[in-house]
Amino acid sequence: MNILILTTHFNTGGITSYILTLAKGLTRNDHKIFVISSGGNMVGDLERAGVKHTYFDIRTKSEVSPKLYRALPKLMRFVKENNINVIHSQTRITQILATILTKITQAKHVSTCHGFFKTRLFRRIFPCWGDATIAISRQVEDHLIHDFHVSSDKVFWVIHGISCDLKPLNQKDLLERRQEFGIAHGPLVGIIARLSGVKGHDILINAMRKVVDEKKDARLLVVGRGKTEEPLKAMTENLGLENNIVFLPVVNQVDAILPILDIFVMPSRQEGLGLSVMEAQAQGLPVVASKVGGIPSLIEDGTTGILVPPENVDALAEALMYLIENPDQAKQIGQRAKIFAKENFSVGRMIDQTYAVFKKVCGK
């Protein structure tokens, strides 16, 4: 099968990770995979996996941007020349492009919904969900069916697959790795996420003030980039946490960062699923996360992690302190999370279930 994956950019993030995993798996199964985007820092990873990437200038947040409609003729030729069977869209912008392309070609359209959308008028008038829609969690599936009235027989739940083969570091390597990132001794909490209001970094920083009052050598590693970086750094200074919080803009070294953490935290205000939570669980880390979106489907509270109410600084600080003060229980939670991840986050299952959706829309 010839499959075109459409996304607006290919920078580090959840959607890019999803595409990389999917494209690698489908390529190994002898399908011909093409990726079109406006480029990004992860294109090299895609090409090293043997997946062809083609640059098109389609990065915009406007559904009526002229650049989209200037790109359409070339996109149409690309679809026809490469005999594309399925166009797989990842964002609202590429959903619109794919919908138009499938009106003028023989290709089918499958979209993946990676989160939650506001029920805006334009979305209701021009839904553009495709011949089938993949939801990354049960909560996103319910959102599509109940908020946007997408037919339930056209929505398919497929959870993201991730590698569960990360190895823990020995004590010597752990200390050396921490020193590389400028981290001293003491309990290390970490978050890996784009710096955006929806991720709740401000809630976490306020919680860390309470944690540091009790445990002065506790550290927080904030990994990511985004528009809230400067306000968060200013907040850190105002709370006197400059020596306890390290901001690390490197976002494509997850495998290097997760093994040095003691606790992973995700205090999101909204979350479609929680890929970084899954990656932390696969590493065997105890996770503290907000009880929002798809996260509760990943964590059994008190067993494979700790769930806290969103926007609740006190509850977040209390959960972090519990894990810091009870390392044996924290280790047990992390080990149970690792077993859960291995049993539920299979890459092979993700590839098979996604391909089954492609076959269904193609009538094969």
- Rounded CA-CA distance 213/211 in Å is 5
Residue 28 — left, alpha, or beta (φ > 0 → left; ψ -120 to 50 → alpha)? Answer: alpha
CA dihedral 12, 15, 19, 20 (to 10 degrees): 30
Helix (H) or strand (E) holding 308: strand 306-308
Strand partners, 203: none
Two domains, one topology: 2-161+346-362 and 171-344: yes
**What is the C-alpha radius of gyration for the chain, rounded to an integer number of angstroms?**
21
- Rounded CA-CA distance 139/3 in Å is 27
The answer to whether domain 171-344 has CATH 3.40.50.2000 is: yes
Q: Give the CB-side neighbour count of residue 310, counting CA atoms within 13 A.
A: 13
The pLDDT value recorded for residue 165 is 67
Give the start-to-end residue ranges of the domains of the chain.
Answer: 2-161+346-362, 171-344
Q: What angle do CA 14, 190, 10 make, to 5 degrees?
A: 20
- Rounded CA-CA distance 165/175 in Å is 21
Q: Give the CB-side neighbour count of residue 81, counting CA atoms within 13 A.
A: 7
Q: What angle do CA 336, 338, 339 make, to 5 degrees?
A: 65
CATH architecture observed for domain 2-161+346-362: 3-Layer(aba) Sandwich (3.40)
Length of the chain: 364
pLDDT tens digits in sequence order for the chain, 364 residues long:
999 999 999 998 889 999 999 999 999 888 999 999 999 999 999 989 899 999 999 999 888 899 998 999 999 999 999 999 999 999 999 999 999 999 999 999 999 999 998 888 888 888 999 999 999 999 999 999 999 999 999 999 999 998 776 667 777 777 887 887 778 788 999 999 999 999 999 999 999 999 999 999 999 999 998 999 999 999 999 999 999 999 998 766 777 889 999 999 999 999 999 999 999 999 999 999 999 999 999 999 999 999 999 999 999 999 999 999 999 999 999 999 999 999 999 999 999 999 999 999 999 6
Using the structure block, give the residue that is written with the tokens 């499959």.
3
154 C-beta neighbours (distance < 10 Å), count = 17
* Angle between helix 66-81 and helix 92-104 axes, rounded to 10 deg: 50
Cβ(226)–Cβ(260) below 8 Å: no
Cβ neighbours of residue 343 closer than 8 Å, sequence gap 6 or more: none
